[in-house]
Amino acid sequence: MPVDETLATYSDWLYRSALGVYLFAILLYAVEQAFARAPRKAEALVGAGAPVLVDAEPKRDVSKPERVGRMGAALTVLGALLHLASLVMRGLSAGRAPWGNMYEYMSLLCLAAVVTWIVLMAKFPIRRLGAFVLTPILVLLFLGGTVLYAESAPVQPALRSYWLVIHVSVISISSGVLLIPGVTSILYLLKDSKSDRFPKLPSADVLDRMSYRTTVLAFPLFTAGIICGAIWAEAAWGRFWGWDPKETVAFVSWVVYAAYLHARATAGWRGRGAAWINVVGFALNVFNLFFINLVTTGLHSYAGL
């Protein structure tokens, strides 16, 4: 099928606009983080199973930095919409699911991360962390749009399968969701020290809960993604598991996230130990994304540039 160049161009414009909007949102979040007061105790406990029968946060005047933060949140939603539109246009222009090369994969991954962040913002009083979360996403999007950029085009014979739609999207979305606990776990490690050097970060408890809940959401998804990949590999490569570098690293990060879930239920590993494991999982995901796709040669490398 020929590529619709007009739609492909619109997609690229939307992608750049989304990046710009995210950048602006980061600036607004940063303003809030810098100028708002440290969260009060009660505020930090909301959503953390507070042992009280109180209504949600008492109404009070919204300070200026908070207003700026809200604008940041609104811009994040706008950016996500532009981002989504860019992916849809990509798909329409090439006449296939828009995750057939690394640029598109990265774009979907980041969209999943942003959407997760928006949902979390609605559930936890953590809006001002936006800058910390959106910055790595923006870096990934920037790399995706420059170094990894690929023209809209049809894909190779091996990728012509409905499993491309299922396997790649599930893996990409779960990796995107897993980006969030990676960041919140790093923040947890910063926050959870004896001296409260970072009074403006939410409480360690909230950060820990956020990490856990997002990981718990993404882990079954990631598992399903790997299994879908195995089913596809059985049809495309003649075996469901062959220790291809990508498969190996996916297996390793699966084991690491499994370790995270176990660590959280083990005395002595709860808290900092678990957070470190989550950070390792995050690092492995990044490694799998860049090093394995671009440096090593395996069956998955054709999904690269």
Partner 1 sequence: MIAFLRNTWRGLTSMRTALTLLFLLALAAMPGALLPQLSLNAAKVDEYVAQHGWWGRFLLKLGFFEVYATPWFAAIYLLLFTSLVGCLLPRTWEYFKQMRAKPVLTPRNLSRMPHHAQAVLDVTPEVAVGRAKKALRGWRMDAGDDTVSAERGYLRETGNLVFHFALLGLLVSFALGKMFSYEGQVIVQANGGQFCNGGIFNYDSFRPGLRVDGTDLTPFCVEIGKFSAEYLENGQPVGYQADIRYQSGDDLAANTWRPYTLQVNHPLRTGGDRLYLLGHGYTPTFTVTFPNGEKRTQGIQWLPSDQRTLASEGATKFDPPGVTDSEQRRKNQIAVTGLLAPTPLLHGNILNSKFPALNNPMVAVDVYRGDLGVDDGRGQSIFSIDMKMVEQGRLQKVARKNLALGEEIALDDGTKVRFDSVSDWVSLQVSHDPTQGYVLAFAILIILGLGVSLTVKRRRVWVRATPRDDGRTLVEVGGLARTDQAGYGEEFTRLARAVLNEEKS
- Binding residue (CB under 8 A) for partner 1 from 22, 132, 212, 282: 212
Residue 98 within binding range of partner 1, rule CB under 8 A: no
- Angle (deg, nearest 10), helices 245-263 and 204-236: 150
Residue 199 within binding range of partner 1, rule CB under 8 A: no
3-state secondary structure of 173: helix
- Binding residue (CB under 8 A) for partner 1 from 262, 283, 294, 305: 262
Which tokens belong to 198? 């970072």
Q: Looking at this protein, which amino acid is placed at residue 217?
A: L
Nearest approach in angstroms of CB 175 to partner 1 is 17
Q: Point out which span in 29-37, 138-146, 182-190, 225-233 binds partner 1 (CB under 8 A).
A: 225-233
Please work out the total of residues on this chain that contact partner 1, with binding judged by CB under 8 A: 58
Residues 2-17 as b/e (b if ≥16 CB within 10 A, e otherwise) read eebeebbebbbebbeb
Residue 150 within binding range of partner 1, rule CB under 8 A: no
Contact status, residue 129 vs residue 33, Cβ threshold 8 Å: yes
| φ, ψ at 197 (rounded to 5°) | -75, -20
Contact status, residue 44 vs residue 209, Cβ threshold 8 Å: no
Nearest approach in angstroms of CB 251 to partner 1 is 6
Question: d(Cα 39, Cα 142) in Å, to the nearest integer?
Answer: 32
Q: Looking at this protein, which amino acid is placed at residue 207?
A: L
Between residue 1 and residue 20, which ones bind partner 1 under the rule CB under 8 A?
Answer: none
- Binding residue (CB under 8 A) for partner 1 from 252, 272, 276, 286: 252
CA 41, chain centre distance (Å): 28
Contact status, residue 179 vs residue 136, Cβ threshold 8 Å: yes
Residue 50 within binding range of partner 1, rule CB under 8 A: yes
- 47 vs 79, beta carbon nearer partner 1: 47
Residue 270 within binding range of partner 1, rule CB under 8 A: no
- 35 vs 163, beta carbon nearer partner 1: 163
- Binding residue (CB under 8 A) for partner 1 from 239, 283, 294, 305: 239
Residue 219 within binding range of partner 1, rule CB under 8 A: yes
- 135 vs 161, beta carbon nearer partner 1: 161
Nearest approach in angstroms of CB 49 to partner 1 is 4
Q: Name every residue whose Cβ is closer than 8 Å to that of residue 90 and which is 6 or more positions away in sequence.
A: 7, 8, 11, 98, 104, 107, 152
Which tokens belong to 300? 């998955």
Nearest approach in angstroms of CB 102 to partner 1 is 16
Q: Could you count the other beta carbons within 10 Å of the beta carbon of residue 227?
A: 13
Nearest approach in angstroms of CB 265 to partner 1 is 7
Q: Which helix (H) or strand (E) holds 41?
A: helix 41-45
Query: What does the binding site for partner 1 look like in residue numbers (CB under 8 A)?
Result: 47-51, 53, 153-154, 156-158, 160-161, 163, 209, 212-213, 216, 219-220, 223-224, 227, 230-232, 234-246, 248-249, 251-252, 255-256, 258-259, 261-266, 268-269, 292, 296, 298
